[in-house]
A and B are shown apart, each in its own frame.
Chain A
Amino acid sequence: MRSSAIARGVRYIGAGTINAIVRLGFSARFFMAVLYHSPSAFRRLQLTLREIYFSGVLSLVIILVSGLFVGMVLALQGVEVLNRYGAEESLGILVALSLVRELGPVVAGLLFASRAGSAVTAEIGLMKATDQLSAMEMMAVDPIARVVAPRFWGGVISMPLLAALFSALGIFGAYLVGVKLIGIDNGAFWGNMQAAVDFKRDIGNGVLKSVVFGIIVSLIAVFEGYDARPTAEGVSTATTRTVVGSSLAILAADFILTVLLFRGIGV
């Protein structure tokens, strides 16, 4: 009895492992196919611009509002701590570095996965469930070139722009709270920020992070949609997998990128 339970457990783990490896291999081949068909996505720029609108422009509200509030809260918490050391005029540095290095790319990435990634997965999954992808194949049009590649690049292009806007609104929110509400000197806030934030090391690495997160979220979103079981339950599961998988991948990639990019800052 007990040995059969153990055998079942081993079979379960084995099947899960094989399935994970198969999916990993399939996703790698899928990524290659997306790259192979990418030139056609740019030749028909209209398709990619449409996806930038759906993934980027329609995500603006949640990104801008979140950025503003994150910046305001960061300022409130930052001032409280900096006050203990009489360094509240360094608030601009604290807020700017936190946002451009970490919070901008990571939080914007998480929001982007929830807002745009899930929408892309659901759309492609539903297209599959309603035979739209099959119809395209039967019309001798490759769905990876026509549907997947424009959505992938729409996400990859949108993500760094959204992260930059998130950081900009965050800094503006911190300015409102720190300078206008609490009364920190305006010149010190902006001047210290300008002096301390390095364009290449801080902003450049932050942008690099957001590009990587854009690739991760967009790839997971299009893959999960394309690989979804063609049922209502399958699409729902795929959407969940996109949000959970993208979020975990962003956090893991952020740690690795931080170690690699900011080695000179004490790590």
Chain B
Amino acid sequence: MPKTAPAAVATFDTHGENAVVLEAVSFGYDRRRPILKGIDMRIPRGKVIAIMGASGSGKTTILRLIGGQLRPQAGNIVVAGQSVPQLDRDGLYALRRRLGMLFQFGALFTDLSVFENIAFPLREHTDLPDDMIRDLVLLKLNAVGLRGAASLKPSELSGGMGRRVALARAVALDPMLVMYDEPFAGLDPISLGIIGQLIRQLNDALGSTSVVVTHDVYESMKIVDYLYFVSEGRVVAGGTPAEVRASTDPFVRQFVDAAPDGPVPFHYAARPLAEELARAL
């Protein structure tokens, strides 16, 4: 029996101020096939949290719910003290100005240069003069080590560089919460390490809160304060990196040991093989 979510959460300090709270959140694009079934999560201010789970377990959906791009069918999502599902369009946009999001493949605007991509949120939401925007953009680019790439187009960047530019854009307005959707996907080991360190450093330097959705257990354990494990729409386990390493929970062990079979079955649901073969005869 996997360690259940409330027990796992209890081991983590959730008494401080929470940046994000998910209370019994359920969601599905189709009512017959729910993706999330009563998710409870607390994301304390100033921490880096990982949400882990297999592909298709609903991790990205959680980020979209936090950002208000989707509305839950049940439950509540509170971000910075505001109930996201109850916000109107203006309220939601006001909240989003305080959020940053790194999309899985960067989602850089392909018609704009690296510089203009990072200047985009500054130009849209501030009246800063051009020389100040220039300084801010160069500082953000310097933080991710790509000041020299300011004039390049996104198509001229490698995958790792593109992810770093997107990271600089996500923190352009110094957000209180930064969400990362699979920041490690498809990167070489060097880029992987760089992105991981940047997530931690930027979080601490900006005093923000970070939510990292990933299935890369080793890379995320190096940088996060706490990990939630999501499977089949539920939080099935959680713990600090040290607790996860020592965990005997079958789901956590399967994930950490990269075992092909376990609570997450190798076979997609089907009739027994013998029965299937006998039927063919």
Contact = CB atoms under 8 A, between A and B. Distances in A.
Interface stretch (A20-28, A58-66, A136-144, A175-183): A136-144
B51 interface: no
A139 B166 CA distance: 12
- Give the dominant DSSP class at A's interface: helix
Residue from the set A127, A141, A142 with the largest chain B CB neighbour count within 10 Å: A141
Contacts of B125: 139-140
Given A138-B69, A139-B96, A131 B124 contact: no
B124 A130 contact: no
A45 interface: no
A133 to B, nearest CB: 9
A132 interface: yes
Contacts of A38: none
A134 interface: yes
A132 B101 CA distance: 12
A134 B125 CA distance: 17
Interface string A116-139: 000000000011001110110111
B103 interface: yes
B110 A138 contact: no
A140 B101 CA distance: 11
A131 B99 contact: no
Q: How large is the interface on B (under 10, 10 to 19, 20 to 34, 35 or more residues)?
A: 10 to 19
A135 to B, nearest CB: 4
A72 B69 CA distance: 55
A130 B96 contact: no
B99 A138 contact: yes
A137 B124 CA distance: 12
A137 B120 CA distance: 12
Given A134-B69, A135-B101, A141 B107 contact: no
B87 to A, nearest CB: 12
B69 A130 contact: no
B124 A141 contact: yes
A184 to B, nearest CB: 49
Contacts of B121: 139, 141
Contacts of A130: 105, 107, 110
Contacts of A131: 103-105, 107
B110 A140 contact: no
Contacts of B97: 139-140
B94 interface: yes
A200 B67 CA distance: 54
A139 B169 CA distance: 10
Contacts of B93: 140, 142
Contacts of A146: 124
A205 to B, nearest CB: 37
A263 to B, nearest CB: 46
B109 interface: yes
Given A139-B120, A140-B125, A141-B124, A134 B96 contact: no
A91 to B, nearest CB: 46
A83 B109 CA distance: 59
Contact of B96 (A126, A127, A132, A138): A138
Interface string A224-242: 0000000000000000000
Contact of A138 (B101, B104, B109): B101
A138 B104 CA distance: 14
A126 B155 CA distance: 14
Interface of B: 67, 69, 93-94, 96-97, 99, 101, 103-105, 107-110, 120-121, 124-125
